[in-house]
C-alpha cells in the first residue's frame, strides 16, 4: 500500500482491495473504507455476505451465456419469448441494457468478449461454437449483431456475418445511432431501443 504511511493494517487491507475496482483510486478507497468502519458491524456483514454470494450463487447460462443462478437463464426458459431471433452481444451486462430498453423479446447469445488481435483474443476465445450449435439446431430466423461500435466490435460483427453466410439465417446489425466507440453499457435505453428497431440487414450495411 503506498501513499498512506501509518495506516492501520486492517484498514490498509480494505483500501488495497477496493483500489483494484474500476474507477476507484486509493483516496476513494480510503473514503469507502472509513465509511464502512462507521457503519454497524451487522450491516457490513450483510455486504460481505452479498459479495460472497455473488460468486457462489451467480454463474452463466449454459445455452446463451447470460447471467443465470443455475443451468439455464430465465430468458431461455421463458416460453413467451421469440425463440427464432437471437441478439448477439459481447457481455452479459449488455443483455441487462437491452432488456431495460424493452424493445426486444427474443433470445440472446453472449460472446463473453470480442475479437481483439492486440489482446490476443481470437474466434476460439468467444462462445462461437455454442452459437454454431444453436443455429444448427434449426428454428433460428435472424441473428441481430449488437456488438459494440468499437473497431474490434465491428470486426467481430463482420466475422460473425461471414460465418453464417449461406446458413439460411438472416443477419442484421443494430443501427448506427450508436456513438462511435460506444459500448452498449453506456447507452441510454431510448438510443439502444431505437438502434434495435432500426437495425439493418447485413447485405445493405455500409
Ligand atoms: Zn440463457
N-terminal to C-terminal alpha carbon distance within the chain = 50
Distance (Å) from CA 90 to ligand 1 centroid: 14
Distance (Å) from CA 182 to ligand 1 centroid: 25
Q: Write down the domain spans for the chain.
A: 9-57, 67-204
Q: How far apart are CA 191 and CA 17, in angstroms?
A: 36
- Residue 1 pLDDT greater than 50, yes or no: no
Mean pLDDT of 5-13: 91
Distance (Å) from CA 28 to ligand 1 centroid: 36
- The residues, any chain, with a CB within 8 Å of residue 66's CB and separated by 6 or more, are 60, 73, 75, 76, 92, 95, 108, 110
Decide if 9-57 and 67-204 have a common fold.
Answer: no
Distance (Å) from CA 68 to ligand 1 centroid: 7
Distance (Å) from CA 106 to ligand 1 centroid: 11
Beta strand 170-173 with 200-201 is antiparallel
Q: Phi-psi bin for 185: left (phi > 0), alpha (psi -120 to 50), beta? A: alpha
CB 75 within 8 A of CB 132: no
Distance (Å) from CA 143 to ligand 1 centroid: 15
pLDDT range class, residue 84, cuts 50, 70, 90: very high
- Residue 118 pLDDT greater than 80, yes or no: yes
Distance (Å) from CA 107 to ligand 1 centroid: 8
- The residues, any chain, with a CB within 8 Å of residue 157's CB and separated by 6 or more, are 145, 147, 173
Q: How far apart are CA 19 and CA 28, in angstroms?
A: 8
| pTM over cut 0.85 | no
Q: How far apart are CA 78 and CA 156, in angstroms?
A: 28
Distance (Å) from CA 185 to ligand 1 centroid: 19
Q: Which one, of 104, 111, 191, lies nearest residue 147 by Cα?
A: 111
Distance (Å) from CA 77 to ligand 1 centroid: 7
For 152-189, how does the pLDDT look when each residue is reduced to its tens digit (9 = 90+)? 999 999 999 999 988 889 999 988 655 555 677 777 77
Domain 9-57: give its CATH code: 1.10.8.420
Distance (Å) from CA 62 to ligand 1 centroid: 7
DSSP 173: E
Mean pLDDT rounded to a whole number for the chain? 89
Q: Return the residue matching grid coordinates 488481435.
A: 117
Q: Which one, of 40, 38, 12, 37, lies nearest residue 26 by Cα?
A: 12
Give, as residue ranges, everything with CB less than 5 Å from ion ligand 1: 61, 63-64, 66, 73, 76
Q: Which CATH number, 3.50.30.50, 3.30.450.40, 3.40.1360.10, 3.90.120.10, labels domain 67-204?
A: 3.40.1360.10
Amino acid at each position: 500500500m503506498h501513499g498512506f504511511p501509518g495506516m492501520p493494517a486492517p484498514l490498509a487491507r480494505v483500501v488495497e482491495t477496493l483500489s483494484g475496482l474500476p474507477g476507484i483510486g486509493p483516496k476513494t478507497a480510503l473514503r469507502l473504507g472509513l465509511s464502512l468502519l462507521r457503519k454497524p458491524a451487522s450491516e457490513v456483514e450483510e455486504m460481505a455476505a452479498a459479495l460472497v454470494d455473488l460468486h457462489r450463487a451467480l454463474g452463466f447460462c449454459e445455452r446463451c451465456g447470460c447471467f443465470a443462478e443455475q443451468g439455464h437463464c430465465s430468458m431461455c426458459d421463458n416460453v413467451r419469448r421469440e425463440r427464432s431471433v437471437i441478439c448477439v452481444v459481447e457481455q452479459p451486462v449488455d443483455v441487462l441494457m437491452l432488456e431495460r430498453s424493452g424493445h426486444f423479446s427474443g433470445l440472446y447469445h453472449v460472446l463473453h468478449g470480442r475479437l481483439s488481435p492486440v489482446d490476443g483474443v481470437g474466434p476460439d476465445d468467444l462462445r462461437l461454437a455454442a452459437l454454431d450449435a444453436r443455429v444448427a439446431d434449426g428454428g433460428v430466423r435472424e441473428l441481430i449483431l449488437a456488438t459494440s461500435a468499437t473497431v474490434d466490435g465491428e470486426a467481430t460483427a463482420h466475422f460473425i456475418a461471414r460465418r453464417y453466410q449461406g446458413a439460411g439465417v438472416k443477419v442484421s446489425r443494430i443501427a448506427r445511432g450508436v456513438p462511435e466507440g460506444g459500448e452498449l453499457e453506456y447507452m441510454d435505453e431510448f438510443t439502444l431501443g431505437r438502434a434495435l428497431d432500426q437495425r439493418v440487414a447485413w447485405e445493405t450495411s455500409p
